[in-house]
Chains A and B, each alone.
Chain A
Amino acid sequence: MAEVINDTSITKIKVQKSLSPWAVARRKFLRNKLAMVSLFFLMTVSILSFLAPYITTADITRVNIGSMSLTPSSEHWFGTDKSGRDVFTRLLYGGRVSLLVGISCTLLIITFGTLIGALAGFFGGIVDALLMRFTDFILNFPLLVFVIVLNAVFFGKLGGVPVLIAVISVLGWGGVARLVRSKILSEKENEYILAAISIGSRPAKVIMKHLLPNVLSTIIVQATLTFAAMIVVESGLSYLGFGVPAETPSWGNMLAASREPDVLQNMPWIWIPPALTLVITILSINFIGEGIKDALNPKSLR
């Protein structure tokens, strides 16, 4: 007992509240220079994109025959494309669409995947078998072919950004569900889960309060990777002409212009800005994901 009393006096001199595991992770993340630079870049791109209507006044859709394929100048910072539209303006508006598709798909995929994975992992048995066979079924759909077919079916009827988001999300959550399930399976073997059941916590509470916080680090890292991957998917589909409708600017649609050999060879200002932005954005997201992974790893020292 004497030792315990001694403990009290020592700890009272030190901090009253101690850092939560999240606070420790945040501190580590803030010290990671590469991740911070990436975060700064991503925030800048996002803010510029979402404030696009206030930054530029140029009309994004109107074709201007008088100013086709102009080289960069003080009036058109990144020049104009073959239809006479300002590349800088389209870059900002394109960022809106690309980032929106990326974020929406990521949120939907992570939410749905985590839900399915957590239920399957926690309950096991027949619930697990049914949910995982459903997941396998979804994973078996070839995303690209499915999107192209849907696009053909809905051509001119539905189309547009929301449909694209829905289709990618519905077909994309399988991997996340499997990952979360495997994490939950190993985490639920810990005695604190048994303890939670024996103190009368309901299954929903056990999953929300005990299991998910302990696998959240994996989910967050997976979310950043998914975010990057979804931007690539959007650009890839748009480049091929099956993604966002051609009249809506997106980084992928802007890249599609480079399919013309003339543009690719002689007008680099049309496709280099979206290409570079895309590459650096994806790199930043991956660096941020790496930084979060390091920060949440209790064994890393930084």
Chain B
Amino acid sequence: MSNVVDIQHKEQSPPLPTNHETLLEVKDLKTYYPVKGGFFRRTVGHVKAVDGVSFTLKKGETLGLVGESGCGKSTAGRTILKLLKPTGGSIVFNGEDITKIRGGRLRERRKDFQMVFQDPYASLNPMQMVGDIVSEPIKNYYPRKKAKEIKQEVMELLNRVGLPDDAYYKYAHEFSGGQRQRIGIARALALKPKLIIADEPVSALDVSVQSQVLNLLNELQDDFNLTYLFIAHDLSVVKHMSDKIGIMYLGHIVEIADKKSIYEEPLHPYTQALISAVPEPNPKKKKERIVLEGDVPSPENPPSGCPFHTRCPVAVDKCSTIKPELKEVKPGRQVACILVD
């Protein structure tokens, strides 16, 4: 009998494609920024921007990483791409540990993971033509490729992301925010990567343009067999994009599960508060709103025990002493809270 229940349960949460292989495995990732102070500019402390983040990402999946400003989600994304140096932990990409590699070997790996940046204005070089921006990655890795072929390829990419042909000869400042973000996406796609980390790709855009860019990202995922790590602070955006969602708070992942469970049955008190803050379009439907008190503590001096206990509505005494580990409470659901079993 119990066997049957188990099988049913598994069928109820299908979004985890079980037969796919793992593309990215992040274990206990830490990124600390040193704080310099004093007369000799010694390191007097650390800002623990990312403090023990672990998750796995399977091929073709999208993991949404959500959290409020300053919780370390962008830092986590940049560290995974080795744009920042990890302080600890390991990053295994496509079966290879890339935590320690550097120089030429790292450069060789970079073509498999790319990033779409948050700010569509600062992420494009104002002195380069769009054609040069998009063809630079190809020229970097295939220096012998003929200029004509590269141009052809870039033109196709620009068309694929919904830009006109003559965009090739224009400069980034001649485009709107949404179109600039399309240029950034074309650049990330140019090397046909396996993984794309999208760091709040639509948070700087108008709401009307956001959905166009999100739909484009969804289409591209199918066309190019992409795996996404989608970083955002907007739960409705993440809901639209992700298979799995990880909730971050103060450098930690507090809950990670498939999209459906997070939205229907959030387990961690912080997740519950976040979900209750999503606007409800139906005005007649009354919603219980959990309002969090206080501010996010400083990551330079995080609270003892559970990082969330200072603002948690259901915290008990031992929350301030015991640091909860991220543990599996149900198949496919991991929560870091001692009160959740």
Interface residues of A (CB under 8 A from B): 1, 4, 7-8, 11-12, 16-18, 20-21, 190-192, 194-202, 205, 209-210, 213-214
Contact = CB atoms under 8 A, between A and B. Distances in A.
B166 interface: yes
Interface string B83-103: 100000000000000000000
A4 B127 contact: no
Contacts of B110: 198-200
A190 B174 contact: no
Contacts of B125: 192, 196, 209-210, 213-214
Contact of B140 (A4, A18, A20, A201): A201
Contacts of A11: 164, 166
Nearest to B78: A194
A4 B163 contact: yes
Contacts of A18: 169-171, 174
A199 B129 contact: no
Given A190-B122, A195-B117, A200-B107, 20 more contacts: A11-B166, A12-B166, A18-B169, A191-B117, A192-B124, A194-B78, A194-B115, A194-B117, A194-B123, A195-B123, A195-B187, A197-B83, A198-B81, A199-B110, A199-B191, A200-B111, A200-B191, A202-B107, A209-B128, A214-B125
B17 to A, nearest CB: 27
B75 interface: no
B199 to A, nearest CB: 9
A200 B171 contact: no
Instruction: Tell me the dominant secondary structure on chain A's binding face.
Output: helix
B140 A200 contact: yes
B136 A199 contact: yes
Nearest to B197: A198
A11 B184 CA distance: 21
B126 interface: yes
A191 B117 CA distance: 7
Contacts of B81: 198
Interface residues of B, number: 36
Contacts of B140: 199-202, 205
Among B117, B118, B119, B129, the one with the most A-chain Cβ atoms within 10 Å of its Cβ is B117
The 9 closest A-B pairs by CB, nearest first: A199-B137, A8-B164, A191-B123, A213-B127, A200-B140, A17-B169, A191-B122, A191-B117, A192-B125
Contact of A16 (B107, B136, B169, B191): B169
Nearest to A20: B171
A200 B187 CA distance: 12
B111 A195 contact: no
Contacts of B117: 191, 194-195
A191 B163 contact: no
A209 B132 CA distance: 11
Interface in B72-86: 78, 81, 83
Contacts of B141: 200
Contact of A196 (B78, B136, B165): B136
A209 B114 CA distance: 20
Interface in B178-192: 184, 187, 190-191
Nearest to A194: B83
A4 B169 contact: no
B162 A192 contact: no
Contact of B187 (A20, A199, A210, A213): A199
A192 B123 contact: yes
A223 B112 CA distance: 42
Contacts of B129: 20
B166 A200 contact: no
Given A11-B164, A12-B166, A20-B129, A201 B115 contact: no
